[in-house]
């Protein structure tokens, strides 16, 4: 960017300020932009600006992958000679690549397979890294997996690699980590499939097949973490799934442990999910209302944390969550509010949603009130399911060609206003096209009418600038 970039942006915005004030524009955006520009000037004009900015994302952020591997190899070899844990920890920390710590674990394991005499030293180092939290359980397990995948190749150079690896896994207790990691991966796969299909019984069967009830608290944590990344519909599905699994598959103990695990790492979660405090408080309050968590959950967590004063920042965040939970539970009509906490349409039954769409289309044919039809469709709060409305409208036009002008106009208005996206519109047409063989059994002219309708809709959409 040119050095004058900041000045040009500032001058351009000052020129627009008068026009924005006449139009009643907000000053918040201008204030925020000015703050950004001031920060930019501060970075550029600071002492040693070039060096600072080339390292602004951390000293290890732009490291070459081979250089990082070489550094890890060097610190492990140096440790074998010196056995200085503090120096090894400092070197690994200074690389600033916690997401790549599995490489250090992998290299250490390979060194132990190549030279069993190094095993006591490197086993001790990995144990210290794990106990201090420098290398997470996930990274430790991933490093173990990487070596396990490479065993066939390693055995070409180290014939005893397989046996040594098994003994090493037992001594490092990595078999337990491997088992836990496998459970997590499988649960996440099953949860993603459930959020796509909505089949609770299939998910229940999958969990029962996995067994390992001692790890079911991980399912609770994974489900909520996955819900944080999704929309209101998926959050409602997770809340309903918890009720479905309780108490036959997951008991109160697993739910309590799962929610406590999330509270323990809430600081890290907030880095990726700024709304986690509000969302987690709703999940907990909903679980209490659904009798999954005991009413005393909040008091027990608060009492337990008052005894542990180590992390005051985390304690403050957890206190906020607990206050929100109490507010939700003690509010007027708490049960009704919390059963709709993810939106009025989030937990709607699929048949009820289809019936509502059928009703609004039939009402529109009689009244031709576009605003009312738009309001009804918006109130369902299921934008991911708008293709069903398109599909039903098309089938109505195939069944009764006299309705075509009215419904064509409605779909055009929905598209122009952005209420129904192009993707949902296209999906609706595809669904009807796939059903044409069945539709032709009841409507012999369905194929020809559908072809004519597609041509007319394309013409109308292009004419009105809808697509």
Cβ atoms within 10 Å of 12's Cβ, excluding its own: 9
Lookup: tokens for 120? 């006591």
Q: Which of 110, 103, 115 is nearest to 67 (CA)?
A: 103
- Report how many helices (DSSP H) and strands (DSSP E) the chain contains, helices first: 25, 0
Helix (H, G, I), strand (E, B) or coil at 64: coil
Cβ atoms within 10 Å of 116's Cβ, excluding its own: 12
pLDDT score recorded for residue 466: 40
Q: Which of 157, 69, 165, 58 is nearest to 109 (CA)?
A: 165
The residue behind tokens 């060097």 is 74
- Cβ-contact 382, 421 below 8 angstroms: no
pLDDT score recorded for residue 347: 53
- Residues in the chain predicted with pLDDT less than 50, given as ranges, are 463-467
């Amino acid at each position: 960017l040119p050095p004058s970039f900041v000045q040009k942006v500032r001058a351009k915005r000052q020129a627009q300020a008068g026009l924005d004030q006449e139009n009643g524009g907000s000053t918040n955006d201008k204030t925020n932009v000015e703050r950004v520009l001031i920060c930019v000037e501060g970075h550029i004009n600071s002492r040693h600006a070039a060096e600072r900015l080339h390292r602004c994302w951390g000293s290890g952020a732009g490291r070459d992958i081979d250089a990082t591997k070489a550094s890890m190899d060097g610190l492990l070899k140096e440790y074998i000679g010196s056995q200085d844990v503090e120096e090894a920890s400092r070197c690994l920390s200074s690389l600033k690549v916690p997401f790549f710590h599995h490489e250090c674990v992998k290299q250490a394991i390979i060194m132990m397979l190549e030279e069993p005499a190094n095993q006591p030293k490197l086993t001790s180092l990995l144990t210290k890294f794990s106990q201090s939290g420098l290398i997470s359980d996930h990274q430790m397990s991933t490093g173990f997996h990487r070596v396990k995948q490479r065993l066939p190749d390693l055995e070409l150079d180290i014939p005893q690699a397989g046996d040594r690896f098994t003994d090493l896994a037992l001594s490092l207790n990595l078999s337990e980590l491997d088992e836990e990691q496998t459970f997590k991966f499988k649960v996440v796969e099953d949860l993603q499939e459930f959020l796509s299909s909505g089949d609770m019984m299939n998910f229940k069967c999958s969990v029962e097949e996995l067994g390992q009830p001692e790890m079911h608290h991980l399912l609770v944590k994974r489900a909520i973490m996955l819900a944080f990344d999704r929309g209101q519909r998926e959050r409602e599905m997770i809340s309903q799934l918890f009720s479905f699994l309780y108490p036959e598959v997951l008991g109160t103990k697993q739910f309590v442990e799962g929610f406590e695990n999330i509270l323990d790492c809430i600081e890290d979660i907030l880095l990726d999910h700024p709304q986690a405090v509000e969302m987690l408080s709703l999940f907990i309050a909903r679980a209490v209302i659904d009798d999954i968590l005991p009413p005393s959950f909040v008091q027990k967590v608060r009492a337990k944390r008052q005894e542990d004063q180590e992390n005051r920042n985390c304690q403050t965040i957890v206190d906020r969550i607990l206050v929100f939970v109490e507010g939700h539970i003690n509010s007027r009509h708490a049960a009704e509010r919390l059963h709709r906490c993810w939106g009025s349409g989030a937990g709607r039954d699929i048949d009820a949603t289809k019936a509502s769409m059928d009703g609004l289309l039939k009402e529109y044919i009689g009244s031709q009130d576009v605003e009312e039809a738009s309001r009804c469709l918006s109130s369902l709060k299921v934008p991911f399911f708008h293709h069903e409305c398109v599909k039903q409208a098309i089938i109505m036009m195939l069944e009764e060609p006299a309705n075509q002008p009215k419904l064509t106009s409605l779909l055009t208005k929905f598209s122009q206003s952005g209420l129904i996206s192009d993707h949902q519109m296209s999906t609706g047409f595809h669904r009807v096209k796939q059903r044409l063989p069945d539709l032709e059994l009841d409507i012999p002219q369905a194929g020809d009418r559908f072809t004519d309708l597609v041509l007319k809709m394309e013409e109308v959409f292009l004419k009105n600038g809808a697509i």
